[in-house]
Amino acid sequence: MTEQVRLTVNGVPRDVEVEPRRLLVQTLREDLGLTGTHVGCDTSQCGACTVHLDGRAVKSCTVLAIQADGHVVTTIEGMAPDGGLHAIQAAFWAKHGLQCGFCTPGMIMSAADLLESNPDPTDDEIRHAIEGNICRCTGYHNIVAAIREAASTLRAGTDVPAAANA
Amino acid sequence: MIPAAFEYDRPTTVAEAVDILARNPGTAKVLAGGQSLLGLMRLRLARPERLVDIGGLAELRGIRALPDGGLAIGALVTYREVLDSALATSRVPLLAMAIADIGDVQVRNRGTVAGSIAHADPASDMPAVVLALEASLVVRSGSGERVVNATSFFEGAFVTDLAEDELLTEIRIPAQPTGVGMAYRHLEQPASGYSIVGAAAVVGRTGGSITTARIGVTGVADAAYRASAVEAALIGTDGGAAAIAAAAAHAAEGVAVGSDIHADAIYRAEMARVHVRRAIEAALGAAG
Amino acid sequence: MTTDVLGSPVKRVEDPRFITGKGRYLDDIQMTGMTYMAILRSPYANANIRSIDTSAAKAMPGVILVLTGADVPYNPLPMAWPAGGSSGVQNNINMPRALATDDVKWTGEGVAAVIAETPEQAADAVEVVHVDWEPLPAVVDTEGATQPGAPQLHENAPNNVVFVWTVGDKAGTDAAVDAAEVVVRQRIVNQRLIPNPMEVRGDIGLYNPGTDEYTVWMSSQTPHIQRLLLTAFVTGIPEHKVRCISPDVGGAFGTKIFCYADMALVMLASKLIGGRPVKWVETRRENYQSTTHGRDHVTYLEIAGKRDGEVTGLRVKTYANLGGRLSTIGPGVPTTLYARVLAGCYKIPNVYCEVTGVYTNTTFVDAYRGAGRPEATYVIERAMDLFAAEIGMDRAAVRRKNFIAPDAFPYDNPSGLGTAVNGEKIYIDSGNYEPALNKALMTVGYDDLDKAKAEARTRGKHLGLGLSTYIEVCGVAPSKWIGAVGEGWGAAMWESANLKVHLTGKVILTMGTQPQGQGHETTYSQIIASELGLAMDDIIVQHSDTLGTPFGYGSYGSRTSSVGSTAAIKAAGKVREKARRYAAHMLEASVDDIEVVGAEYRVKGSPEKKKTLQEIAFALDLGFSLPEGMEPYLDETAYHDTPNCTWPFGTHIAVVEVDEDTGKVDLVRYVAVDDVGNKINPMIVDGQLHGGIAQGVGQALWEEAIYGDDGQLLSGSMLDYALPRASWMPNLELDETVTPSPVNPIGVKGVGEAGTIASTAAVANAVIDALKPFGVRHLDMPFTAPKVWRAMQSQEVRS
C-alpha cells in the first residue's frame, strides 16, 4: 500500500509514492537521489541525516516521508543552489571543519538553524547547538571554529561568490 | 532501521482521530512529532498496526494565555515553539529551563511537549515539570473531554491514565503563585541524553518561611512523581541551606529506585537528593 | 611559485564534494537492478544451530534468495596475523564463516542472509527465518574465561586460551623486580570499545556472468588486501577475476581494515541471482554487534625501581579478549603492536610481558585507532604515576629522569623491538622528549597547580591534572623485519605509487593507500606539486580501486604519510629523472648539463635553453622522437619499503574537574605538544590530533562496551554507548616540537593515531589526581559519574 506525497525539496515540488513506513531520509536519498543526507545510526542520535523541514533542523531518519507531505524540505544540496557555497560551507572548508565528510552535511544544516536564530553565538552556544550531531573525526575543535567564522561572515553580510572558493 | 509496515491515517479533526482510536483498540498509536515513537519503531521494539497522524489537526496547535494567568499548550506544540514563545517563557520560566536541555535542537524542533507526556518515558523531563507546575491534562475521546491532574496521570514506565481511545489534546498550566521561583536540575545519561535524574522545583517564601514547595522528580522510579516528603519537610522552614538539604534528603523516599547499566539504585537515589537540593536552591534564588 | 606548497596549510581538495553533499559513500551508490541483503544475526552469545527453516522467508514478497551457512561453498575468513613468533606457541585459530554453520559464538554472528527487491522486504523476510537453537552457557569475562569450569568455546582452545605470547627478558626482569627498592603493582583494565566510524560498513557485489568476473564495492581501508584475502583464502576465485573498490569512506579507525563475512556474501549472492547487484549496508546496531571492537585488556603491571626515581624493571601480564572467533589481525594487536612498545619513551633496562589471548562469547576484537599502542601507553603512563606516587616524587620529574636521552638514539628497546629470530631489529631512531614535556608543563601552568586546585574547591570541584608522555610507532616496517619476527602470513609493509604526466601536462598519481578522511588527495598533491614544481590544480590523486592503482597495503597504523608519501616521492623522482634525460635529448645537451628548477629543465649556464615538464611530457608521450633505449610516455611506478618505523612522541596534559556531589567529570583544558616531525599540511596534522584526542578522551570518560553475563551487548546502540559530543570537549591547545624522522626524505612521521595514543592516559591520570584527596590510587575507565562518585565515598586507601 503506497500513498502519494508531495514535498517541496530545495525549492522544487516533488511527487513521490511511498509506503507509510518510508522515512524521509529514505525518500530523499533513494527516491529523489539526494544522497548528501546520510544515515549514521538507527536511534536518532548521530544527526548525519539532518535536513530542514519548514526551515528548522530535523533528523530526517525520525520523520516519515508522509509526515512531510505538503511541507518544505531543504537538504545540503539546496544550501547554495547557484553552484557557489553557503558561508557555512565555505567556513567548514576554510577551517578544516571536516575530515571524512560523513557527518558534515548534517552538521552544516544544524549550524544553519543555529545561525538563523542566533547570529553571534558564543563557543558554548555553538557546542550546545550541535549536540545532536556526532563527529568522530574532528574532536569538534575545527567545527566550532568554522561555525564561529561563518557567523562572522554572515553578520558582515558578505556574499561568498563561487569564484572565491576555487 | 526500517519500521515494520503499518496502516496510516491522517484525520482532519480531533473527533475523527479519536474515532479511529476507538475503532482500533490496542492496535493504533498516535503519531505527533514522532521523536519517541518512530525511534522505537525503527528498532522494531514497537510495531503498531496503525498510526494515527495528528500532525494535521490545527485545533491542537498553539500556546494560549489562560485568563487566570496560566498557559494552555496544544498537543502539537513543539519544544522549540515553547522556547520561542515569549508568553510561555515569561509566564512559566520552568518550561524553558527544562526544555533547553531536552534532546538536541533537531529533537526540540520536532518533538512535542504533549507527546513526551503521553509517552511517559520514565527518564523524560516533561513529566517532572508538569508535576511541579500542577498542570492538568486535557483528554478527549468519543465520549467527551476530561481533565486529569498531572499528579494522577503517570502510572508507570510508559503507562499513563490515558485510555486506548483517548487523545491528549492540551496541557493546562495554572497561574503559579506570586513570588515563587522555579528551577530544573538534571543529570544526563551521556549516551541518550535522557535524565538519570531530573528535578523540577517551584518554591516560594511568604514572610520568611517557605509556603510553596512543589517538587517533581523524574528518572528515579518507573514513573515521575511529586516528592511529597521533600515538600512537607520544606514547608514552614526558612529555606536556608540546612533546611533545604534536610528536606532534599527525602527525595527518593517512597519509590522503588531504578537501576541500569548507567546508574545503580544507590547512586540514583543520591542524585535525586543532590538534584532536588540544587533545584530548590536555584528556585529560591530565582524567587522574588 | 608552487614549490613551497609542501608544509603549507592548503585547503583540502576533497572538501568541495563533501560540503555540498556530493561525496559518494558506499550507500550512495545506486544501480539499475539493485537488490538488498539483510543478515539474520544470532540472538544468543553461545548456541548450537539444530536446524534452520527458510521456507517462510522464501515465501515473503520480493524475496529473491535466502542463504544459510550450508549454501556457502567458501572457506572461513582468513587469519592474517597469528601470534606466535618468539614464544613459538601454537595458535588455535577459529575464524568466522560467511554464515555460521553449526554454532554461534557471539550475539550478532550471522546465520542467514535474505536478498530481496527492496531493503524493506529484506528486513521483513529476515525476521521470519526460523532457527532451532540450542542455547549454551556463555562466558564474557576475559580472565574468567581462562578459569577451570568456564564454558569452553572451541575444542582446540582449552580454557579458551588462544595463545600465551611473551616478549622481553624474563630472567633479567624477574631479578630486577626481586632486587628493587620499590615495586608497585596494580591491576588495570583497558575496557572494550566500539570504534564507531560515522559511516557504517557496507558492500555491493556485482557478478558479470559474461566474463565470470566480480566487482565488489566496499567501505574499506584496504581494497587490495581484501581482494587478496577474499580470493586466495575465502572464495578460491582467482585474484584477477575480482576487482575491489572503496568509494569515499566515512571514517574507519581500524574497523575497515579487515575481511568480513558480508564481503564474500554479496559476491556469492550476486552470482547466484544471475549477476544483479547486491547491496548490504549494516545498521548501527549490526555495526555494534558484528564489526570489530577494540582494546579489552586486563593487565597486571609491576613497576620496579629506586627511591631516587630510576625505574629498573617493568613486568606485565595481560589478558586480551579477542572475542568468540578471531578477526583478521586480532592476535597481532595485543602482542607485537602492544608489548613491544610497552616501555614507551623510558629507558627501562628490564622489560618482560606475557600476553594471554582469550576467546569469550563476544564480538571479535581487532585494531582500533592506535591498535595496541594506546593500551601500552595506558599501562606505562599509569605505571609511572603509580611509581611517582609511591616514592613521593613529582610526576614530571620521574618521567624526566627516565627518558631515553637525546644522544641515545638509535635506541634498542628491551621490550622486544629487537628480538626477531634472525637478528633483524628495528630501533627507536630519534627522539628528544624533554623539550615537549617542558613546553606542555609551561603552557598548562604546572607550577600553579595547587593554586588551581584550591580555586576549584571554592566551586565544589576537585581539579586534577594528568600527564602522558608518549611515543608512538607508525608505519610498521620494514618488510624484512616483519617477516623476521615470525608472526603473520608474511605480509610486507611497503607501499606503491604510479605517476603519469599525460600529453596535456596533467598529472595523475595513483596510490595503493586508501583514505578515510585524512585528506590524501590533498597531501599527495602537495608532495607532487613540490617535487615536480607544478600547481596542485594540475594534479589529481586516484586511489581505492584495484583496477588502475598499483597493489598497496592500504591505510592504517599511521603509515601513509611516511611509507606512502615516500613511494610517491620516489615515483616523482623517477619521472623527474626521465624528464631530465628527455630534456637533454630535446635540448641537444648532455644529461649532466640539465638542471631542474621547479618544472623547468634548463641547460646549465644557458637558462634560456629550457623545456617545461609539460613540453617534455607532450613530446615524450607522443614518442615521435626518442633517444636510443628510451620508452615513450612519462609514466613511472615506485614501490617503497621504508627502512624503519617512525617514532612520534610528545606530552599531553589534561585538566579535569570532578563535581563533589555527583562525581561528574568535566575535561576543562587539554594541552598537547606533539612531535610528528615535519608536516606536509599542518592544518591536516592538527585536525588528526584533535580527532585522535577526542577519541582517547572518549575512552577515558564515557565509552564502554558492556556485556551482560549472558553475552547480550547491553550498550547495543548509541542510546547506551556514549560518544564524545561537542559540548563535552574544550577547545584544544596544540603545540609542537619538530624532530624530523631520519627514515624518509621529507622527515614526516605520521599522526593518525598519536592523539588517541596519548590522550586516554592523560585524562585517566588527571581524574586519579583529582581523586587523590580521597585516597584513590587507581580507578578503571571509563570515569563515569557513578563510578567516580562511588570512589569518593571512601577515604580508605585502595590497593
Same domain, B222 and B277: yes
- Put simply, the answer to whether A96 touches C687 (Cβ < 8 Å) is yes
Residue C175 within a domain: no
Instruction: Find the mean pLDDT for residues B138-148.
Output: 97
The total of structural domains in chain B comes to 3
Q: Is A58 helix (H, G, I), strand (E, B) or coil?
A: strand
The confidence score (pLDDT) of residue C565 equals: 95
For chain C, say whether A84 makes contact (Cβ under 8 Å).
no
- Put simply, the answer to whether B2 touches A132 (Cβ < 8 Å) is no
Interhelix angle A87-94/A141-156, nearest 10 degrees = 140
Higher pLDDT, C483 or C58: C58
Confidence band, pLDDT 50/70/90 cuts, at residue C85: low
For chain B, say whether A50 makes contact (Cβ under 8 Å).
yes
For chain A, say whether B5 makes contact (Cβ under 8 Å).
yes
Mutate to test the interface with B, among A67, A72, A114 (most CBs of B within 10 A): A67
Report the alpha-carbon distance of residue C757 to residue C381 in Å, rounded: 11
The confidence score (pLDDT) of residue C419 equals: 52
Asked which of C597, C619, C640 is the last residue of a domain, the reply is: C640
Same domain, C282 and C304: no
Scanning C112-151 for CB atoms below 8 A from A yields 119-120
| β-bridge pairing A72-74 and A3-9 | parallel
Residue B115 within a domain: yes
Contact call for residues B186 and B271 (beta carbons, < 8 A): no
Contact call for residues B187 and C664 (beta carbons, < 8 A): yes
**Residue C690: which of A79, A101, A142 has the nearest Cβ?**
A142
Rg (CA), chain C: 27
Residue C18 within a domain: no
Higher pLDDT, C457 or A162: C457
Residue C799 within a domain: no
- Put simply, the answer to whether B271 touches C662 (Cβ < 8 Å) is yes
The total of structural domains in chain C comes to 3
Specify the residue for cell string 566550532.
Answer: A144
Same domain, B63 and B48: no
Chains that contact B by 3+ CB pairs under 8 Å?
A, C
Same domain, C507 and C622: yes
Domains with residue ranges and CATH for chain A: 3-78 (3.10.20.30), 87-160 (1.10.150.120)
> Is residue C317 scored above 50 in pLDDT?
yes
- Put simply, the answer to whether A101 touches C695 (Cβ < 8 Å) is no
Same domain, C504 and C611: yes
CATH number at residue C590: 3.30.365.10
The confidence score (pLDDT) of residue C87 equals: 52
Q: How many CB pairs under 8 A join A and C?
A: 183
For chain A, say whether C185 makes contact (Cβ under 8 Å).
no
For chain B, say whether A7 makes contact (Cβ under 8 Å).
no
Q: CB-based contacts of C369: which residues, under 8 Å, 6+ apart?
A: C195, C253, C254, C294, C692, C695, C752, C753, C756
Report the alpha-carbon distance of residue C166 to residue C339 in Å, rounded: 8
CA distances from B237 to B184, B233, B241, B284, C329 (A): 21, 8, 10, 12, 66
> Is residue C467 scored above 70 in pLDDT?
yes
Q: Which residues of C touch B107 (CB under 8 A)?
A: none
Residue C764 within a domain: yes
Q: CB-based contacts of C446: which residues, under 8 Å, 6+ apart?
A: C396, C465, C653
> Is residue A159 scored above 60 in pLDDT?
no
The confidence score (pLDDT) of residue C424 equals: 66
Q: Which residues of C touch B278 (CB under 8 A)?
A: 661
Q: CB-based contacts of A129: which residues, under 8 Å, 6+ apart?
A: A110, A111, A113, A114, A118, A121, B105
Same domain, B159 and B236: no
Least confident residue range of A3-17, C406-420, C683-697: C406-420
Residue C48 within a domain: yes
Report the alpha-carbon distance of residue C534 to residue C541 in Å, rounded: 14
> Is residue C518 scored above 50 in pLDDT?
yes
Same domain, C665 and C780: yes
Specify the residue for cell string 543555529.
Answer: A114
Report the alpha-carbon distance of residue B239 to residue B254 in Å, rounded: 23
Containing structural domain, residue C225? 31-136+197-252+256-290
Report the alpha-carbon distance of residue B259 to residue B266 in Å, rounded: 8
CA distances from B185 to B125, B128, B182 (A): 10, 11, 10
Contact call for residues B61 and B74 (beta carbons, < 8 A): yes
Residue C135 zone, left/alpha/beta (φ > 0; ψ -120 to 50; rest) = beta
For chain C, say whether A43 makes contact (Cβ under 8 Å).
yes
Same domain, C280 and C307: no
Same domain, C619 and C662: no
For chain A, say whether B242 makes contact (Cβ under 8 Å).
no
For chain B, say whether A6 makes contact (Cβ under 8 Å).
no
Confidence band, pLDDT 50/70/90 cuts, at residue C422: low
For chain B, say whether A46 makes contact (Cβ under 8 Å).
no
> Is residue C420 scored above 60 in pLDDT?
no
Positions of E strands within B134-268: 136-141, 144-149, 154-156, 159-160, 167-173, 181-188, 195-206, 209-218, 225-226
The confidence score (pLDDT) of residue A161 equals: 46
Same domain, C91 and C224: yes
Least confident residue range of C385-389, C409-413, C473-477, C692-696: C473-477
Confidence band, pLDDT 50/70/90 cuts, at residue C1: very low
Contact call for residues C353 and C318 (beta carbons, < 8 A): yes
pLDDT per residue over A77-134, tens digit each?
999 977 899 999 999 999 999 999 999 999 999 999 999 999 999 999 999 999 999 9
Chains that contact A by 3+ CB pairs under 8 Å?
B, C
Contact call for residues A16 and A5 (beta carbons, < 8 A): yes
ipTM of the complex: 0.96
Same domain, B270 and B192: yes
For chain C, say whether A81 makes contact (Cβ under 8 Å).
no
Least confident residue range of B110-124, C86-100, C256-270, C572-586: C86-100
Scanning C8-27 for CB atoms below 8 A from A yields 11-12, 14-25, 27
Report the alpha-carbon distance of residue B242 to residue C706 in Å, rounded: 40
Same domain, B87 and B150: yes
> Is residue C491 scored above 90 in pLDDT?
no
**Residue A43: which of B39, B51, B105 has the nearest Cβ?**
B39
> Is residue C421 scored above 60 in pLDDT?
no
- Put simply, the answer to whether B2 touches C119 (Cβ < 8 Å) is yes
Same domain, B36 and B18: yes
Same domain, C115 and C239: yes
Residue C128 within a domain: yes
Range list of H helices, C254-297: 261-272, 284-290
Report the alpha-carbon distance of residue B171 to residue B133 in Å, rounded: 11
Q: Which residues of B touch A3 (CB under 8 A)?
A: 8
Instruction: Find the mean pLDDT for residues A28-45.
Output: 97
- Put simply, the answer to whether A45 touches B191 (Cβ < 8 Å) is yes
pLDDT per residue over C115-127, tens digit each?
999 999 999 999 9
Confidence band, pLDDT 50/70/90 cuts, at residue C490: low
Contact call for residues A70 and B122 (beta carbons, < 8 A): no
Report the alpha-carbon distance of residue B10 to residue B180 in Å, rounded: 42
- Put simply, the answer to whether A92 touches C15 (Cβ < 8 Å) is yes
The confidence score (pLDDT) of residue A62 equals: 98
Same domain, C542 and C570: yes
pLDDT per residue over B146-203, tens digit each?
999 999 999 999 999 999 999 999 999 999 999 999 999 999 999 999 999 999 999 9
Same domain, C652 and C636: no
Residue C770 within a domain: yes
Contact call for residues C11 and C18 (beta carbons, < 8 A): no
The neighbouring-strand residues paired with C784 are none
Contact call for residues B275 and B199 (beta carbons, < 8 A): yes
**Residue C789: which of B2, B4, B267 has the nearest Cβ?**
B267
Same domain, B20 and B49: yes
CA distances from A2 to A66, A69, C33, C115, C492 (A): 10, 13, 21, 22, 55
Report the alpha-carbon distance of residue C674 to residue C460 in Å, rounded: 33
Cα atoms in the 13 Å half-sphere on the side-chain side of B288 = 7
Q: Is B284 helix (H, G, I), strand (E, B) or coil?
A: helix
Maximum pairwise Cα distance, chain B: 61
For chain A, say whether C294 makes contact (Cβ under 8 Å).
no
For chain B, say whether A124 makes contact (Cβ under 8 Å).
no
Q: Which residues of A touch B55 (CB under 8 A)?
A: 67
Contact call for residues C100 and C69 (beta carbons, < 8 A): yes
CATH number at residue B223: 3.30.390.50
Contact call for residues C17 and C250 (beta carbons, < 8 A): no
Q: Chain B residue closest to C662 (CA)? A: B271
Same domain, B267 and B186: yes
Report the alpha-carbon distance of residue C686 to residue C9 in Å, rounded: 10
Report the alpha-carbon distance of residue C750 to residue C645 in Å, rounded: 10
Same domain, B210 and B189: yes
Asked which of B155, B173, B191 is the last residue of a domain, the reply is: B173
Maximum pairwise Cα distance, chain A: 51
Least confident residue range of A16-20, B83-87, C474-478: C474-478
Confidence band, pLDDT 50/70/90 cuts, at residue C477: confident
Same domain, C397 and C434: yes
Confidence band, pLDDT 50/70/90 cuts, at residue C90: low
CATH number at residue B26: 3.30.43.10
Same domain, B106 and B192: no
Residue C12 within a domain: no
**Residue B35: which of A62, A113, A129 has the nearest Cβ?**
A62
Mutate to test the interface with C, among A141, A147, A149 (most CBs of C within 10 A): A141
Confidence band, pLDDT 50/70/90 cuts, at residue C358: very high
The confidence score (pLDDT) of residue C338 equals: 95
Report the alpha-carbon distance of residue B239 to residue B277 in Å, rounded: 11
The confidence score (pLDDT) of residue C418 equals: 58
Same domain, B256 and B158: no
Report the alpha-carbon distance of residue C11 to residue C13 in Å, rounded: 6
Asked which of C597, C613, C640 is the last residue of a domain, the reply is: C640
The neighbouring-strand residues paired with B212 are B204
Q: Which of B22, B19, B18, B24 is nearest to B6 (CA)?
A: B24
Same domain, C349 and C453: yes
Q: Is A50 helix (H, G, I), strand (E, B) or coil?
A: strand
pTM of the complete model beyond 0.80: yes
CATH number at residue C107: 3.90.1170.50
The confidence score (pLDDT) of residue C2 equals: 42
> Is residue B98 scored above 90 in pLDDT?
yes
Least confident residue range of A47-61, B46-60, C70-84, C583-597: C70-84
For chain A, say whether C720 makes contact (Cβ under 8 Å).
no
Q: Which residues of C touch B244 (CB under 8 A)?
A: none
pLDDT per residue over B7-25, tens digit each?
999 999 999 999 999 999 9
Same domain, B241 and B258: yes
Containing structural domain, residue B37? 7-53
